[in-house]
């Protein structure tokens, strides 16, 4: 049961099930066995995760496999992290970058910490920023930036301050409010991920894999691992996080129908940026 020391053996039994192994093989092909071994290793090496519900670990692993992201901690593409007696799927900064570049539509992606002095100019009317690393005046971190350029020439940059990142973390993470979790242990990494995710969610073209990774990010995955299409996210860390996901889900429903988009925008179901992108 969840919370007992028998979680890892239970997880191994689940992963050795013929139907589960077949599902991973259908998703990952020849990489399935290696991926399964990594799942067991990750669970075994984390004392809190080793006490989590094995089914939640398995479901999170299926999501990672479906979007073809490694959960090897060294690669920092995706992670299975503990939250109480359950496990969550979490996409990392490298995973967001990997899924973007994999689409073939991106020329470049930049995601950096901004130090004091490096933000030279900001135009609030055009959303344009000028950064200069040579203008750095101290090691103090004042914010985080992300920028991408598409093959077709479209470019967009987003910047958030440290205070804005902290407010985001406290709004969407109960663990951070309690002084624990990734926001507490690696604030800079989470700040970089936050600005990159916001940028890509609002302005970038998104593959099916990217949409799914964003949808399931920081959620406990419910459903049957043998049927990946039936898995659903549950935002146990902070349910208000679902509000941010709803905009993306609603956008996907109406992005090919301008009239439906007008109605959705009027109801506040999609953002202004999403509505403008549909009009284009």
3-class DSSP state for residue 198?
A: helix
Q: Is 74 exposed, middle or buried (0-12, 13-18, 19+ CB in 10 A)?
A: exposed
Under DSSP, is residue 77 helix (H, G, I), strand (E, B) or coil?
Answer: coil
82 vs 273, which has greater pLDDT?
82
Q: Are the beta carbons of 154 and 194 closer than 8 angstroms?
A: no
**Distance (Å, rounded) from C-alpha 229 to C-alpha 97?**
24
pLDDT at 182: 80
pLDDT tens digit string along 8-49? 999 999 999 999 999 999 999 999 999 999 999 999 998 888
| pLDDT exceeds cutoff 70 at 265 | no
Place of tokens 């799942």: 39
Q: In whole angstroms, give the CA distance from residue 173 to residue 235.
A: 10
Q: How many whole angstroms separate alpha carbon 132 and alpha carbon 44?
A: 44
Q: How far is CA 170 from CA 71, 166, 178, 179, in A?
A: 25, 6, 9, 10
Domain map (residue ranges) of the chain: 1-91+216-235, 104-205, 240-280
Residue 268 binned pLDDT confidence (cut-offs 50, 70, 90): low
As to burial, measured by CB atoms within 10 angstroms (0-12 exposed, 13-18 middle, 19+ buried), residue 163 is exposed
Report the pLDDT value the prediction gives residue 1, as an integer from 0 to 100.
42
At residue 239, does pLDDT exceed 90? no
Q: Which residue has the higher pLDDT, 151 or 229?
A: 151
pTM given for the model: 0.77
């Amino acid at each position: 049961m969840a919370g007992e020391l028998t979680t890892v053996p239970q997880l191994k039994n689940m992963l050795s099930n013929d139907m589960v192994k077949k599902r991973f093989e259908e998703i990952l092909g020849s990489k399935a066995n290696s991926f399964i071994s990594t799942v067991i290793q990750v669970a075994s090496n984390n004392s809190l995760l080793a006490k989590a519900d094995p089914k939640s670990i398995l479901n999170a692993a299926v999501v990672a496999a479906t979007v073809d992201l490694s959960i090897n901690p060294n690669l920092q593409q995706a992670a299975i992290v503990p939250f109480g007696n359950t496990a969550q799927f979490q996409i990392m900064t490298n995973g967001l970058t990997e899924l973007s570049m994999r689409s073939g539509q991106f020329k470049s992606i930049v995601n950096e910490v901004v130090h004091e002095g490096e933000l030279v100019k900001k135009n609030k009317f055009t959303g344009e920023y000028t950064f200069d690393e040579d203008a750095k005046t101290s090691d103090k971190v004042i914010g985080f930036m992300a920028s991408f350029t598409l093959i077709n020439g479209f470019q967009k940059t987003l910047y958030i301050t440290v205070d804005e990142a902290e407010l985001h973390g406290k709004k969407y993470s109960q663990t951070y409010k309690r002084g624990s979790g990734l926001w507490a242990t690696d604030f800079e990494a989470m700040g970089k991920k936050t600005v990159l995710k916001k940028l890509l969610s609002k302005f970038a073209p998104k593959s099916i894999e990217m949409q799914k990774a964003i949808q399931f990010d920081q959620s406990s995955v419910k459903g049957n691992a043998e049927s990946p299409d039936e898995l659903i996210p549950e935002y146990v860390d902070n349910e208000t996080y679902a509000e941010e996901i709803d905009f993306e889900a609603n956008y996907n429903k109406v992005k090919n129908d301008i009239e439906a988009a007008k109605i959705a925008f009027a109801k506040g179901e999609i953002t202004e940026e999403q509505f403008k992108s549909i009009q284009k």
